[in-house]
Chain A
Amino acid sequence: MSDLAIAAPRFRAAAAGEALAAWALCLPAVIAYLLMLLLPTLATAALAFTDYELGLDGFRWIGLGNFAEMLDDRGFLQSLRNTLIYVGLVTPGSILGALVLALAIEAGTRGRTLFRAVFFLPVVSLSVAMASAWQYLLHPTIGPLNAALRGLGIAGPAWLSSSDTVLLALAGIGIWENLGFNLVLFLAGLTAIPRELYAAAAVDGVPSAWERFRLVTWPLLGPTTLFVLTITMIRSVRVFDTVAVLTQGGPNKASQVLLYTLYEEGFTYFRIGYSAAITLVFLGIVLALMWLQTRILDKRVHYA
């Protein structure tokens, strides 16, 4: 500012006052940003290239050593695979379910608020507590689900303690958790579709509800769907609570997921360097999803 201040001192004074006030207002946020977000994130990136372990003195730079280790780490590879499977199950499940329910709710005037509240309830419920409820529900011997299956003459699996079904069970809980959130987003998207378009479709003689959906609803819901798609993927990549509560990655690493591996390596075994490297992989996946969203959003879904 000083060079300008010399050139025209009096006129700059007021503008400089505004700049000073602005920085004063930003200062607490800037300090907290540096201390709690920027520096730790950079530190994570740096730690990923060290063999730092909490409790040991000093550390060495080991370059890509941590990433090389990952490629040989069965636990990590398993967690990556499991996370992708989990995302692959939860995303279509919770989106399709939400879309069908949103269309059903939007198709009439009765019960709108009630149903919206019912489906949204899991979003505001304490996930640890609800995981406990699911544990009971899915319990192999005393759980109501298997009891019901027995009533139908089917022997239910040991959902959470069998490596064949554990991911499926967790994904089911994941769908249940995410459905309401997506539903609300779809409802917002549906109400934004102009009513005249349906009237026009009716006048143009579009015969069935399905045709109407294909002609009007689905295309106009495009941006919403894309948004819901990436949001759901990003949310489900972050699966942690249910695994931490219900399975701790077991049985035999069958439900090991990315964030839980990160947690175990860093905060149970205190292998900070290795855990930081996993964090970077996690960040990379999240950023790739966001990048994909903006790319597709720019290119394909453009009705404005």
Chain B
Amino acid sequence: MSGIHLQSVTKSFNGTTVLHGVSLRVAAGEFVALVGPSGCGKTTLMRIVAGIEHADSGTLQIQGREATALRAGERDVAMVFQSYALYPHLTVAENIAVPLAMRRLNAWQRLPLLGGVLPGTRAARQGIAAEVAMAAGALGLGTLLDRRPAQLSGGQRQRVALARAMVRRPAAFLMDEPLSNLDASLRVQTRREIVAIHRRAGAATLYVTHDQSEALTMADRVAVMQAGRILQVAPPREIYADPAELRVATFIGSPRINLLPAEAGTDGAVRVAGLPVGLRCAARGALTLGVRPEALVPAAQGLVARAEAVEFLGESVLLHARHESSGTPLVLRLPPEAAGHLPQPGGELHLAFAPEAALLFGPDGARCRAELAVAREPALV
């Protein structure tokens, strides 16, 4: 079993439980993004994998090896820290060389002066230097090798941290919000570079972020975490289009998904504000119906809403409205051409959505798998 495998990991600090039995598997060559609001336990989980924190219970395997009791240095994982954690007193080349020197040279060979004359040190040092040069070259750091971290820009420091992580070819990469200290344009560019490094290295990568767009654009699979639990692990498309529960649906997607109070009658037909929506489900009683902003459109008839504000974003237009009968705030994402024909704030409009675009959730937040009503009731289509 290669890659990272966490099973039923729990952790509490001073009586506060931050992880409630988390299980997660990252296969070799896979890129998994762990996303969630701050304080949800995602960084703690990553630090447990790294060996910086220790789980209270549960198991951790790295490359098929039981790693729970291993020290951080023995786990064959590399980590890129949010603060980069470069050694301020070492040059770029020395920073990148540290993990190799620690593994390939013994304690005597690492001694200053004396180490240099011991057998094997020279050859090992040359090998290390060659690999450092290669890693640095791959990240465009070739001309900066003799600088110290204080003399580098934020983006350059970030690259040094990446080079230090990739140079030793670890079984797993751990990245803790590595882009959060970069400015916006650099962040988008570095996203692609990190994915490229991951593809080349072929190791398991666990990437922690609070930025869902990072998670969706970079990862093979996204793990959504909240309050110490992983809610769902799935490919980005699936996380967005087919969330397993209400909390995932509301966390992923910006602007937030529209949520309307709905009801399933005794026949299973789902209605919103008394109008049938063309869906039938097994549950009965009160439900929540979610529609993504781009799936909700103005129509000749349907839900009665009152327009509140229009935001022009360039590639799209956001229309903020309020559902008349329930008072629920609603958002529509429309093509920019629609901007001209939208009602003035305060104006009334009707909204509709395709039934297959709607997501139904039970009172506990769990997803209710609905089926399209056999005879399409035309009400909200």
Contacts and interface: CB of A to CB of B under 8 A. Distances in A.
B51 interface: yes
A110 interface: no
Interface in A8-28: 8, 10-11, 13-15, 17
A124 B59 CA distance: 60
B68 interface: yes
A172 B55 CA distance: 65
Given A10-B68, A10-B69, A15 B54 contact: yes
Interface in B39-74: 51, 54-57, 59, 68-71
A14 B55 CA distance: 10
Interface string A4-48: 000010110111010000000000000000000000000000000
A8 to B, nearest CB: 6
Contacts of A13: 68-69
Sorting the interface of chain B by its residue count into under 10, 10 to 19, 20 to 34 or 35 or more gives 10 to 19
A225 B355 CA distance: 77
Contacts of B68: 10-11, 13-14
A14 B69 CA distance: 5
Contacts of A10: 59, 68-69
A contact patch SS = helix
A14 B57 contact: no
Interface string A91-133: 0000000000000000000000000000000000000000000
A13 B67 CA distance: 11
A11 B71 contact: no
B51 A14 contact: yes
B363 to A, nearest CB: 37
Contacts of B57: 8, 11
A14 B56 contact: no
Interface in B312-357: none
A11 to B, nearest CB: 6
A279 to B, nearest CB: 44
A2 B71 CA distance: 20
A8 B59 CA distance: 12
Contacts of A17: 71
A14 to B, nearest CB: 5
Contacts of A11: 54-57, 68-69
Most B C-beta atoms less than 10 A away, residue of A8, A10, A11, A17: A11
B124 to A, nearest CB: 26
A24 to B, nearest CB: 14
Contacts of A14: 51, 54, 68-71
Nearest to B56: A11
A72 B70 CA distance: 68
Contacts of B54: 11, 14-15
A27 B323 CA distance: 70
A11 B70 CA distance: 10
A11 B51 CA distance: 11
Nearest to B51: A14
B345 to A, nearest CB: 47
A236 to B, nearest CB: 41
A111 to B, nearest CB: 33
A104 B55 CA distance: 61
Interface in B14-57: 51, 54-57
Most buried by A among B54, B56, B70, B71: B54
A226 B217 CA distance: 60
A22 to B, nearest CB: 14
Nearest to B70: A14
A199 to B, nearest CB: 33
Nearest to A21: B71
B44 to A, nearest CB: 14
A10 B68 CA distance: 7
A103 B57 CA distance: 62
B56 A8 contact: yes
Most buried by B among A10, A13, A15, A17: A10
Given A8-B56, A11-B69, A13-B69, 18 more contacts: A8-B57, A10-B59, A10-B68, A10-B69, A11-B54, A11-B55, A11-B56, A11-B57, A11-B68, A13-B68, A14-B51, A14-B54, A14-B68, A14-B69, A14-B70, A14-B71, A15-B54, A17-B71
Interface of A: 8, 10-11, 13-15, 17
Top 3 A-B residue pairs of the complex, sorted by shortest distance between their CB atoms: A13-B69, A14-B54, A10-B68
6 contacts: A8-B56, A10-B59, A11-B55, A11-B56, A11-B57, A13-B68
